[in-house]
Amino acid sequence: NRSDATSGVGLPMTERGIAARPKQSLGQNFLVDPNMIRQITAAFVDAVEQAEEVCQDGDSKQSTGRNVVEIGPGFAALSQLLVRRFPEMLGLEIDQRAVAHLNEFLPEFNVVRQDVLETDWKALASERAVGANSGKLYVIGNLPYNIISQILFSLIESCEAVDFAMLMMQLEVAQRVAAPKNSKAYGILSVMCQLYTEPKILFQVPPSVFRPKPDVTSAMVILKFRDKCNPRLDQVDPNHLRQVVRESFQQRRKQLRNSLRLTMSQVGVTELSERWASRRPQELDPEEFIDLTYDLFGPVS
Ligand code: SAM
Each as own residue / partner, the long-range contacts of residues 107-113 (CB below 8 Å, 24 or more positions apart, any chain) are 108/83, 109/73, 109/76, 109/79, 109/80, 109/83, 111/73, 111/79
Is pLDDT of 7 > 90? no
Is 35 annotated to bind ligand? no
CA 32 to ligand 1: nearest atom: 5
Which secondary structure element, helix H or strand E, spans residue 121, and what is its range? helix 121-128
Q: Residues 229, 195: contact at Cβ < 8 Å?
A: yes
- Residue 4 — very low, low, confident or very high, per pLDDT cuts 50/70/90? very low
Q: Residues 252, 280: contact at Cβ < 8 Å?
A: yes
- Looking at every residue in the chain, the average pLDDT score rounds to 89
Is 142 annotated to bind ligand? yes
CA–centroid distance, residue 60 to ligand 1 (Å): 32
Q: Taking residues 250-256, what's their average pLDDT?
A: 94
Give the C-alpha separation, 156 to 197, whole Å: 8
pLDDT tens figures, 58-80: 555 677 899 999 999 998 999 99
Q: Taking residues 231-255, what's their average pLDDT?
A: 92
Q: Taking residues 199-223, what's their average pLDDT?
A: 96
Q: Taking residues 4-30, what's their average pLDDT?
A: 60
Is pLDDT of 288 > 50? yes
CA-based angle 247:283:243, to the nearest 5?
A: 20
| Residues having CB within 6 Å of any atom of ligand 1 | 26-31, 71-75, 77-78, 92-95, 98, 115-117, 142-144, 147
Ligand 1 mutation pick, 25, 95, 121, max ligand atoms within 8 A of CB = 95
Is 182 annotated to bind ligand? no
Is 110 annotated to bind ligand? no
Which secondary structure element, helix H or strand E, spans residue 156, and what is its range? helix 148-157
Q: Is 265 helix (H, G, I), strand (E, B) or coil?
A: helix
Give the C-alpha separation, 248 to 251, whole Å: 7
